Amino acid sequence: MFRVEKQDGFARLGVFDGMKTPHLIDLRDDKEVEELKRNVERRAAEILLDVMPETYKLFLREKHVIKLVPVSLNAKRLIKTIFLLKKYSEKPLYISSFATPQNASLLIYLGADFLDNAVALKKAYQGIYQSEVGEMKIESLSELPCNCFACLNREEYQREFEFLADHNTNALKREVLMSRTALKTDTLRELVESRVKTNPENTAILRIYDSMSSEVPHAVYKKAKVYPTSEISFYRPEFKYYFNRIVDVYDPASPAALLLPCSAKKPYLLSKTHRAIRGAVGDLVRGVNEVIISSPFVAPRELELVYPISFYDTPTTGQWSEWEIEFVAERLSILLEKFESVVGYLSGGYRKVAEKASKKAGIDIRFAESLQELRKILHHVEKAEFDLYKEIFRHMMRYQFGLEFEVESVKGKYPNLEFFKRERIARVDMRYGNLDIYGELAEFLRKQDVYTVRIDEFDVRGTVFSKGVLKADERIRPNDVVVYYNSMLTGVGKAVIPGKEMGVVDGKAVLSRRKTLN
């Protein structure tokens, strides 16, 4: 009855009885209301979860849609309840009597598949005109800041309530449609951040969600730019994943590090700034690990091609807040502990970050004030030469799959690198900021049973549907590169939904890229 077509975290695009979801229920539409009533179950009392967990699970199986009515603006309680419902059921979630144009995208980001216009109608009765940035009393408006059908035809309404009910519902419907589009294009988080800034309660909900988001299967590779323009951006799930992951996977080949500032152009290695620095120091940079400082990231050169490092754009003013300096320095200090000697070619806020990180890590940094001085310092630094491109592959493998795999040669023009072991085994996919894999490497992952999807005995023609999945690695997140297989074939594809939901929900599980017969 409910088919999932795309997912990121708890947010989903789907189809329910012919309706595209996320979907807005207009409570004035008797047909829609009756259809939903037939499918909606009441939310199980949370006490059941602790006292009778099996009864709780049975309760969630009674009908097709779970209904949640938030009883207050308590952000922690709302997030905790949603997490509980998502833990025990894959059914569509209907968050009722709570949606506004300001919070609709947030509720969809949290996992709502259905919303309604109960608040829109209530506000209309109170004479309140709603928008995505706030509410106004209708009598205070000398002109209408909207061109929806209701606003363009206000004179045709006999009652103010009817006009406001239509406008408020239109504003809410527009947000739901924008959220669907943003989810398709991997930009829902950007939409959410732009909306929550206008409301402190919504900001609190998002912050609490972010603090718990490690439990949520958010995509960590996306086909979209990312814009960390405020403090709340720094804690988004894919950023947290990156920060946690580099601590585990970064394994510098040299005891020496060179700290450099970021650049507007991505990847950094192609920027004028970095080419000029490397050109000035020449071969002296060989055997030195480069670490790039930005806000909010710290990026080893070996990982500058992964998402989100090659995909972010942030305002560059030269002004660093104390909070930014502290945030980045904390993360840089962890990486500095991996080196015996550190050199910095930095100024302004970048240097302040490095100085604070130096104190935190207890490691001295030798700062060069000019490129000439940088050459002199690097000339005396103890190094260990390595192949940068092979190190890029090694680190991307560790980051993406948690495994080591040796390559023999690298071809291609940076950043479009291809990696070979007799035949091509991987390439950098700059659409998503990860490795796409082939042949021997795919077979290696299958043998290791890492990021694999075992399917029933059928041929694959473009799509592996969830119902055909027998077993899937629970580490798999949407957009991950995965290996699917049965006794007939082995293939490589892109995950559509989390591994733990493959074989459970209806809809697409993997989009195939290539396959070979066993």
Share of the chain above pLDDT 70, in %: 94
Backbone angles phi and psi of 509, in degrees to 5: -110, -45
pLDDT at 317 over 90: no
Mean pLDDT of 264-290: 95
DSSP designation for 42: P
Mean pLDDT of 460-466: 96
C-alpha pair distances (Å), 64 with each of 15, 60, 429: 13, 9, 39
Question: What is the predicted pLDDT for the residue at 389?
Answer: 98
pLDDT at 149 over 70: yes
Average pLDDT, the chain: 92
118-125 helix and 160-184 helix, angle to the nearest 10 degrees = 150
Mention every residue, 6+ apart, whose C-beta is less than 8 A from residue 84: 46, 49
State whether residue 232 is helix, strand or coil: helix
State the Cα–Cα distance between residues 150 and 512, nearest whole angstrom.
45
By the 10 Å C-beta count (0-12 exposed, 13-18 middle, 19+ buried), 314 is classed as middle
Q: Which of 97-111, 307-321, 404-418 has the lowest mean pLDDT?
A: 307-321
Question: What is the predicted pLDDT for the residue at 365?
Answer: 97
What is the CATH superfamily name and number for domain 438-517?
A: PUA domain (2.30.130.10)
pLDDT at 27 over 70: yes
pTM of the model: 0.93
State the Cα–Cα distance between residues 215 and 116, nearest whole angstrom.
27
- What 67-72 contacts at long range (C-beta under 8 Å, 24+ apart), as own/partner pairs, is 67/40, 67/41, 67/42, 67/43, 67/94, 67/96, 68/43, 68/93, 68/94, 68/95, 68/96, 69/43, 69/95, 69/96, 69/97, 69/98, 70/95, 70/97, 70/98
CB atoms within 10 A of CB 450: 17
Domain residue extents for the chain: 2-215, 231-380, 438-517
Question: What is the predicted pLDDT for the residue at 42?
Answer: 57
- Whether a cis peptide bond, with omega within 30° of 0, leads into 252 is no
pLDDT at 22 over 60: yes
Fold of 231-380: Rossmann fold (3.40.50)
pLDDT digits (tens, 9 = 90+) for 238-261: 999 999 999 999 999 999 999 999
Q: Measured at the alpha carbon of residue 112, what is the angle toward residues 110 and 117, in degrees to the nearest 5? A: 125
Q: 516 or 424, which is more confident? A: 424
Share of the chain above pLDDT 90, in %: 83
Q: Are 172 and 101 a contacting pair, CB within 8 Å?
A: yes
Question: What is the predicted pLDDT for the residue at 371?
Answer: 97
Confidence of residue 38 (pLDDT cuts 50, 70, 90): confident
User: Given this chain, do its domains 2-215 and 231-380 carry the same CATH topology?
Assistant: no
Question: What is the predicted pLDDT for the residue at 47?
Answer: 46
Fold of 2-215: TIM Barrel (3.20.20)
Mean pLDDT of 162-174: 97
pLDDT at 202 over 70: yes
pLDDT at 313 over 60: yes
State the Cα–Cα distance between residues 485 and 127, nearest whole angstrom.
59
